Amino acid sequence: MLKRKNLLRMAGAIGALMLPALASAAGDICYLRDAAAPSASTAYLLCEQGMLYATTDSGGHWAMQRTGADQTLHAMVFQDDTHGIVVGEGGTILATSDGGKTWQQRLDDKKAHFTTEHLLTVYAIGDLMWAAGFDGALLHSTDGGRTWEKQNSGTTMAIQGLYFLDKDHGWAVGWSATILRTADGGKTWENVSTDKATWSLDSVYFRDPNNGWAAGFAGELLRSRDGGKTWAVQESPVQSELSSIAFDKSGRVWIAADEQLLVSQDGGEKWSVDKVDNHLFLCKVFGKGDSLWALGELGLLQQKGASMEWQRSQSLVPAGTSIADSLEASTEVPAGDSTAK
């Protein structure tokens, strides 16, 4: 199920935030959707409206950059500090080689998108990349996202999450409890049939070739111990959407759960709720240096070292989150004026 947080939902955050429709005096609104941290000091945060926030000092300062996208963006990956790919609706694929200052469309020989389907997720291992989305669309690149070819996913369900352990072994999850796996880099995909999955799945993560987790709508949480051949249901303490899975340096497992985080301190066997700032609508947990960061539509949480404590980033104020902060961002945060070519 494609996540869409609307103005009615954001109204629940009034008191700490103002509605973006009222807030953006400069015209910019940002719903944060994805993140990438290619090095200890550099990170990028993706706004679905076509902007990015970039830091080169571990979140001390942020600069807004513009991709020039004319379609909603959903996902992003960076191979290193300067080379990145964003994907979105209508088969949009944009690339940068200068840390987000300028962006270029990736098109086929006929100057058309490699697919017309909405792309919801992208994953990279070096120059190898996979992007997936609506109607089972699945693309693969062997040259860092410059050119793409279609892979046959074997499903017509939307694919929302991808994870590759290496160049050969990967997993994909999506709508209607879809679970796919490959052992040859996506040349062939196995559609795993299981009666354990009930809802649509957003995210999949494998710690090693055998042990993995898949999570999604209504608190759905599954575990595999055999490389994704079979899955078992795990008890989830929440019914909210589970959208991202990550391990920290202490071996704890964290899952973004909308207005809270789930955490397992025993390697993913049992789960508890870690209540955090409930106005961010968390959608992504990812590694940043020696700790984790948690991205929400309206802001960012930073783990204190490898502890159980999290704090909200005070230096990041996404455009449109409040009148005062939006005005500050529009006047003090430098914005690139590049457009897609």
DSSP states of 141-172: ESSTTSS-EE---S--SPEEEEEESSSS-EEE
pLDDT at 3: 44
Amino acid at 249: K
For the chain, list the domains and their CATH numbers. Answer: 30-146+309-341 (2.130.10.10)
pLDDT exceeds 50 at position 261? yes
Q: How far apart are CA 296 and CA 276, in angstroms?
A: 11
Nearest of 32, 44, 33 to residue 74 by alpha carbon: 33
Query: Which pLDDT score, from 0 to 100, does residue 265 have?
Result: 96
Give the pLDDT score at 277. Answer: 67
What's the predicted TM-score (pTM) here? 0.87
pLDDT band per the 50, 70, 90 thresholds, residue 4: very low
| Helix H or strand E encompassing 328 | helix 323-332
Closest C-alpha among 118, 100, 227 to residue 163: 227
204: left (phi over 0), alpha (psi -120 to 50) or beta: beta
Q: Does the pLDDT at position 30 exceed 50? A: yes
Q: What is the 3-state secondary structure (H, E, C) of 56-91?
A: CCCCCCCEEEECCCCCCEEEEEECCCCCEEEEEHHH
pLDDT at 331 over 60: no
Q: What number of residues does the chain have?
A: 341
Question: Looking at residues 208-226, what average pLDDT do you find?
Answer: 97
Residue 17: partners with Cβ closer than 8 Å, 6 or more residues away? 10, 23, 279, 298, 321, 322
277 vs 4, more confident: 277
| Percentage of residues in the chain having pLDDT higher than 90 | 79
* pLDDT (0 to 100) of residue 27: 66
Residue type, 323: I
How many degrees, rounded to 5, is the angle at CA 136 between CA 75 and CA 73?
Answer: 20
Q: Residue 15: left (phi > 0), alpha (psi -120 to 50), or beta?
A: left
Confidence of residue 197 (pLDDT cuts 50, 70, 90): confident
Q: Does the pLDDT at position 69 exceed 90?
A: yes
> What was the pLDDT predicted at 278?
65
Percent of the chain with pLDDT over 70: 86
322: confidence class by pLDDT, cuts 50, 70, 90:
low
Higher pLDDT, 8 or 123: 123
**Model pLDDT, residue 17:** 40
